[in-house]
Each structure stands twice: as structure tokens, then as C-alpha cells.
């Protein structure tokens, strides 16, 4: 597809990924399907190969900043890389056996994945972590098992739907490992870049990639991810993630074609944006208290 508007979509996704570590597939795939009219199979393949290229720039930048836990990423890749190819193979098998009719099935699978991805991102936004340290984190056997299992199941989801590289992996890393937010984002992007190269190659061989669209997307996403990785000003990250989670859930409801999807979408958007506003107001109030302590008597 030769549409310059794709560059703006790429810029939006690049900035968000570089700043927050959110998976680009969670946002870009529904944009391609709902706004640009891509069929779900081509949208997934195009998004994955595009993500492999532009996330590589973010991964290199985070690596130079020292925000990547390379051993953790490697253990996740042991499970995610081969299972992403299984997901690609299943997607191609569905196309071969069901033809054009598989598009509706893929749309529903993608919709369900987006709903769960949005809920996961919401949890990732509101969960408060303790015992977080910037000290070197040495992996135990339990940590390696968790990382491999996360890659095993998450890689299959990424290969099949393109959703999960930043949402599911990031959420589990927050829950399981005592890493700082910067290292969660950096490790997440580094792992996703390698994983998406594997899955993207599989989709390219299967003919599920629109290379013209990839080129337009990269025009926006490469500078976007570099800018997002370097952002030093304070951004309302928690409210931003909740807003994005809301959009993902609403998009998933639409793609899954659930009964009364329009009403559910409106309700989800209303509740989600109200929560985002409340969280931002609460954050500002708490920051105000910290910045202006009571004077001593």
C-alpha cells in the first residue's frame, strides 16, 4: 500500500515504544486493519517485519545506555524464537486450508489477543513494585525457567497475531524480576527486536508482508523510537499506558465482533479514559505533596 499517512502511524508507534516499551504490534496491527483496510494476515506480517527493523534501532540505543539485561533476553529467546515460527506456520496453514474465510477467524483471534493485551497493559500500568534495584541481577535456575516459559508461550502468540512482544513480556518481567523500569523497557525492546526478525522472516517467506507499507512505516518509526528512547522530560507514563490499554481493549472488541460491540467499545473508552484522568490527577497531587513539604515549626 502506497499511503504517506502510514509514516505518521509509524512515528506514533515508534515514540510510544521507545518511551514506554509498549509493544508496537498491539497498537499498529489494529491501525492497519481498522484505518487502512489491510486484511488481518497481511497486517500481522507487515507489522512484524516492520517491528523487527525499527525496534533494532531502539535496541541498539538501549544497549548503549546500559538498560538491557542481555542474559535474561537470551533465555527468553530460547523459547520465543522457535515458537514464533510455529505461530507463523499455523497462520499460513489456516490460509491454505480455509482461504479467504480465514480472515474473519484471524480477525477474531487478533481481537481476543488485543483484549487480553490491553488488560495486561492495564495491570502493567497500575502494579506497584517493591524491592526494585539497579544493582546487577544474577539469574537463578528459577529465573531462567520463568524466562524460557515466558518466551515459549509468548513467542507463539507473537508469531500468530503480532501482539505480545511488549505487553505480555513486559508484564511478566515486572511481576517476576526485580528490574528497574528502564531495564524492563530496554530488555523488552532488545528481546522483541531479535524475536521479530525471526517471525518477520517467516511471514516474508509466506508472502504476508506489504513491503511498500513497511517502507512508509519506517520513515516515521525509526526517528520515533530513537526520540522516545532518549526522552528525558517527565511524561505521564501511567496515564498514557492506561489510555493505550483502553484503546487496545476497544479495538479488540471491534475486531472480535462480539455482540453489541459498539456499546461495549463506548463503555470501555469512557471507563478507561476516566481512569487515566484520575490516575494522572492523583499522581500530580502526590508529587505536589513531595515537592512542597510542610515547614518545620
Give 257-287 pLDDT, tens digit per residue. Answer: 677 766 776 777 677 777 777 766 776 676 6
For 229, residues 6+ apart whose C-beta sits below 8 A from its C-beta are: 18, 19, 58, 61, 62, 65, 189
**pLDDT < 70 regions, the chain:** 18-26, 95, 99-104, 106-107, 110, 124-125, 127-135, 162-167, 229-241, 243-244, 247, 255, 257, 261-262, 265, 269, 279-280, 283-284, 286-297
Please report whether residue 69 resides in a domain: yes
Cell 530460547: give the residue: 78
Please report whether residue 272 resides in a domain: no
Per-residue DSSP letter, 268: H
- pLDDT tens-digit profile of 176-198? 888 877 788 788 888 888 988 98
Please report whether residue 230 resides in a domain: yes
Please report whether residue 229 resides in a domain: yes
Please report whether residue 242 resides in a domain: no
Q: Which three cell numbers stand for residue 277?
A: 484522568
Per-residue DSSP letter, 100: G
Q: Which contiguous run of DSSP H or E holds residue 223?
A: helix 211-230
Please report whether residue 262 resides in a domain: no
Please report whether residue 127 resides in a domain: yes
* Domain carrying residue 150: 5-236
Closest CA to 221 of 20, 2, 28, 61: 28
Task: Please give the model's pTM, rounded to 2 decimal places.
Answer: 0.70
Domain count, the chain: 1
Closest CA to 13 of 23, 2, 3: 23
CA distance 142 to 139: 8
Please report whether residue 245 resides in a domain: no
Q: Which three cell numbers stand for residue 19?
A: 518511551
CA distance 252 to 110: 7
Amino acid at each position: 500500500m502506497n499511503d504517506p499517512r502510514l509514516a505518521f502511524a509509524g512515528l506514533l508507534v515508534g515514540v510510544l515504544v521507545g518511551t514506554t516499551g509498549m509493544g508496537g504490534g498491539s497498537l499498529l496491527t489494529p491501525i492497519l486493519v481498522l484505518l487502512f483496510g489491510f486484511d488481518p494476515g497481511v497486517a500481522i506480517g507487515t507489522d512484524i517485519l516492520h517491528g523487527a527493523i525499527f525496534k533494532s534501532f531502539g535496541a541498539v540505543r538501549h544497549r548503549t545506555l546500559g538498560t538491557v539485561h542481555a542474559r535474561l533476553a537470551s533465555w527468553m529467546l530460547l523459547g520465543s524464537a522457535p515458537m514464533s515460527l510455529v505461530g507463523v506456520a499455523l497462520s499460513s496453514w489456516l490460509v491454505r486450508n480455509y482461504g479467504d474465510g480465514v480472515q474473519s477467524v484471524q480477525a477474531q483471534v487478533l481481537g481476543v489477543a488485543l483484549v487480553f493485551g490491553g488488560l495486561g497493559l492495564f495491570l502493567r500500568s497500575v502494579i506497584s513494585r517493591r524491592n526494585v534495584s539497579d544493582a546487577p541481577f544474577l539469574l537463578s535456575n528459577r529465573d531462567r525457567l520463568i524466562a524460557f516459559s515466558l518466551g515459549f508461550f509468548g513467542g507463539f502468540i507473537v508469531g500468530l497475531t503480532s501482539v505480545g512482544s511488549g505487553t505480555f513480556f513486559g508484564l511478566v518481567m515486572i511481576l517476576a524480576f526485580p528490574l528497574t523500569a528502564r531495564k524492563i523497557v530496554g530488555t523488552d525492546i532488545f528481546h522483541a527486536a531479535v524475536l521479530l526478525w525471526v517471525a518477520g522472516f517467516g511471514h516474508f517467506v509466506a508472502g504476508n508482508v506489504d513491503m511498500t507499507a513497511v517502507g512508509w512505516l519506517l520513515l516515521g518509526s525509526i526517528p520515533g523510537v530513537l526520540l522516545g528512547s532518549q526522552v528525558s522530560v517527565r511524561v505521564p507514563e501511567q496515564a498514557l499506558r492506561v489510555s493505550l490499554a483502553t484503546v487496545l481493549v476497544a479495538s479488540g472488541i471491534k475486531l472480535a465482533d462480539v455482540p453489541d460491540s459498539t456499546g461495549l467499545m463506548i463503555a470501555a473508552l469512557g471507563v478507561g479514559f476516566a481512569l487515566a484522568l484520575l490516575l494522572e490527577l492523583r499522581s500530580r497531587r502526590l508529587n505536589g505533596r513531595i515537592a512542597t513539604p510542610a515547614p518545620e515549626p
